[in-house]
Structure 1
Amino acid sequence: MSPHLIRQLESGKKKLTNKTKVLEETVTQKPEAVNSTMNCAEAQKEKRDAYVKVRQKVGGILKGDTSIEELDLEQSGDINILQRFRLHAHFDNYHDLPDTTYIPHQIIFVEEDLREIVQEEISIKKWPNLARAEAQDRLHDLNVKYWCLAQKWSHYRSCLVRGVEKRGFELWRSHPKWYMHRVLVEECASRQGCCSRGCGCCLNRTIDPSRKLGVGHCTVECGCCRQARGFDIPEKEKKLLKTQFREDISKLPAHPIARVAFWGLVGDVYKSPFDMIDVPPSYEKAVQCNNLV
């Protein structure tokens, strides 16, 4: 990652820390992508020289190699254009293979399943409606399910064979609060999730480090949402809703919510995706949801 990209990422983090004390403790830690970057200018030059040498000697490159154009965009520091370039390169490849599984959507779907597990675990611990033995059995089952889904997530990530997808995904996810993108916050609010009430759960939800793949917005298993709506959703309805939604999204590779979650990009918005990570005004005076810390 070039020094320009690092500065933009740091700028986005500082902007977010000024919004809330809770977020300050999290985002002041440098993202993994920033921590691993040393002597960026030298590394970029070395990569560029190696690329040119390979093209001259071999006459081609491996699938996944960074192109000269992408290297130049990394060096420019314009994250929006860089991510758009990667997205276009991704779709150029996708249209050549229309019958393949659309991996970005599979990653997003698995992440939703992981969030459901994490939020149900929190609910069981905060609202002990089950007998102790029954609760322990359920937590055990959820732990097994989380492990299996984490393997699935890792597998799908390994299927990002075009380097542009992997680099675009990892750049966006290098920010620890990527899911607080304004579009994702609005989407949670539109589903009557915690962002519609300004209780702060999506921002402040306490998650065990071993459950880091389960960060994000509300699912049908959010205990705070269940308390707010006053009823449980039948299992049959949960499955029907999920099946229908995923069938619809699967037909739309450019689905706007999935695109934001994977790339951080929004149509007609040309600022850095990191500048779109924000705390809604309703969060600034919010307190934690009752019984959910």
Structure 2
Amino acid sequence: MLRRSGAIGTLIALLTVLFLTPAATAADRFVRPAKAADGGCGVLAPGAPAAAERAIDAACAQVAAGVWYTWDGGHGDQPGATYGKKDPTDPASDDDPNRLGFDCSGLVRYAYAQATGADMLNGDASDQYYTYRTADRFTAAQGLAPLLPGDLLAYGTSADLHHIAIYLGAGKMVEARQSGTKLMVSDVRLGGDYFGAVRVDTGSVEGPVFRTWGTGVWTKAQPSTAAARVYAFPGPRTVRVACQKHAEVVTADGYTNDAWSYLPDYHAWVTNIYIQGPAWLDGVPTCTG
């Protein structure tokens, strides 16, 4: 009898748990955890825009799949892994032509294309950091405090940004780091050549947007050819123009113009000679102050 009573008691206890424990709703099942369950690749802090979280999910799926870093990988006609190339400065890249994968900017391009359905970050690390789709920008001196998951971390100098990664939160980032390794989660490397971070605006872009032309075109700290160099456009790119003004007369590539445009994403000026359009750009206000 004692053994029979014990069995009945156990059954009653199990039924009590089943009927008294609230059932999980569909919303509960799909709530994003505050951090990756294993502390690995995932959104590790709250507050990120939904598109940024989707970009992280896309990048982390590639980490989970064991995808390789490949030099120049991910820069095909469409976002996605491609076979790499040999980097003449890195013997570890000898196998990259046989590996399907991403380099650092190829991974960023793919992640945000998956998140938004648009190839909005097609380019190298400099193109992506200086994107005209900038919601906010942060200096190295600001550290990690103002950053949100999905922000892009850039390494190098204003004239040569050589690496970019996606911030996860909690001091972690996902990156395609170097030949001979697979995509990985790393501690954010502050100091050294950490340059700063940019938050991507995946919505509509405010303000006039134009296309540049020419190669090796330097932007300047002031609207003058004698001013300090800020960044050289390696080739044509899309830029956001805040305002324009008449300043130093410039003659270059068969054109003469005294109009200069201020590019807010570079904190720099460029002569209107190298911006496609009329000498004085339509729809762009005159700079004041």
Per the shorter chain, which TM-score range? under 0.3
* Greater percentage in helix: 1
Q: Which has the higher contact order (CA 8 A, sep 6+)?
A: 1
* Greater percentage in strand: 2
TM-score (normalizing by structure 2): 0.25
TM-score (normalizing by structure 1): 0.25
